[in-house]
């Protein structure tokens, strides 16, 4: 284990301590499962008070890099910082994040074809029926926000039909990122209307139990939104250069 931790600065002591501890973890100075030094030892190495060390460790426990065990100490749970990964995703472009979401959905469609329950199919169809009613009663843009909510409910229900909790959690994050990024970049007015026919075809493909058909139906459903984002990004690029 390296002892050459630099002294934290006088400003933002906790932040400085967090960054130095994170650097130790990322560099492999402490391996998975290792017990890190005590608060007293870390305070001497960082040249800060024990309260500062305690707060820095608490933050890293919260992010999942460290794990505290009552009466045993604090141990290395991960050498990569999930927060850094998420910040990287947030800095990615709209198309980049949308492509990852599409990859997650197509794999989810394959798994859903194999693992879905009758309740899963009913939930997807109910979301589409609600969306169809909104589009019918509010053909103008005023009903768009509610339509988007039901569309998100449909896609989330489809992914959850794969019955893979890890896939569901990752998808939820990317789905939220896509929505926020697209709303920020384009607003609601330039995106295409939801194609209910392709959505219902996806449900039928999942219900058939054929993973290849479900994947193909999902790719077809996503093709137009992906193309629309490409066109919008191209138009913006041309506008910036014009």
Which residues of the chain fall below pLDDT 70? 1-11, 82-92, 139-148, 177-192, 235-242
pLDDT tens string 127-185: 999 888 887 887 665 445 556 677 888 999 999 999 999 898 888 877 776 666 555 55
The label of the residue with tokens 């505290």 reads 68
13-79 belongs to which CATH class? mainly alpha
Q: How many residues can be counted in the chain?
A: 242
Which pLDDT belongs to residue 82? 65
Predicted confidence at residue 88, as pLDDT, reads 65
For the chain, residues classed under CATH 1.10.10.10 are 13-79
The SS3 call for residue 162 is coil
Enter the DSSP assignment of 143.
G
The counts of H helices and E strands in the chain are 10, 2
Cα-Cα-Cα-Cα torsion 83, 85, 87, 90, nearest 10 degrees, comes to -140
Q: CATH 1.20.120.530: which residues of the chain?
A: 92-241
Dihedral sign computed on CA atoms, order 97, 102, 108, 112: positive
DSSP three-state, residue 70:
coil
Supply φ then ψ for residue 23, to 5 degrees. Answer: -65, -40
pLDDT at position 179: 65
CATH class, domain 92-241, is mainly alpha
């Amino acid at each position: 284990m390296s002892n050459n931790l630099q002294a934290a600065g006088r400003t933002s002591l906790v932040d400085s301590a967090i960054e130095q501890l994170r650097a130790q973890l990322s560099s492999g100075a402490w391996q998975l499962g290792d017990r890190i030094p005590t608060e007293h030892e870390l305070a001497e190495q960082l040249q800060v008070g024990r309260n500062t060390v305690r707060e820095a460790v608490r933050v890293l426990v919260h992010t999942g890099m460290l794990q505290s065990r009552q009466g045993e100490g604090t141990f290395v749970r991960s050498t990569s910082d999930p927060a850094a990964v998420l910040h990287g995703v947030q800095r990615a472009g709209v198309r980049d994040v949308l492509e990852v979401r599409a990859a997650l959905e197509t794999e989810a469609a394959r798994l859903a074809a194999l693992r879905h329950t009758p309740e899963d199919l009913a939930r997807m169809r109910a979301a589409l029926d609600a969306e169809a009613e909104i589009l019918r009663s509010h053909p103008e843009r005023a009903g768009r926000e509610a339509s988007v909510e039901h569309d998100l409910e449909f896609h989330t229900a489809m992914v959850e039909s794969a019955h893979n909790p890890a896939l569901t959690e990752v998808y939820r994050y990317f789905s939220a990122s896509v929505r926020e990024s697209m709303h920020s970049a384009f607003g609601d007015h330039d995106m295409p209307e939801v194609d209910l026919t392709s959505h219902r075809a996806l449900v039928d493909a999942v219900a058939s139990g054929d993973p290849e058909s479900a994947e193909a139906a999902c790719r077809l459903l996503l093709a137009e939104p992906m193309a629309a984002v490409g066109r919008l990004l191209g138009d913006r690029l041309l506008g910036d250069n014009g």
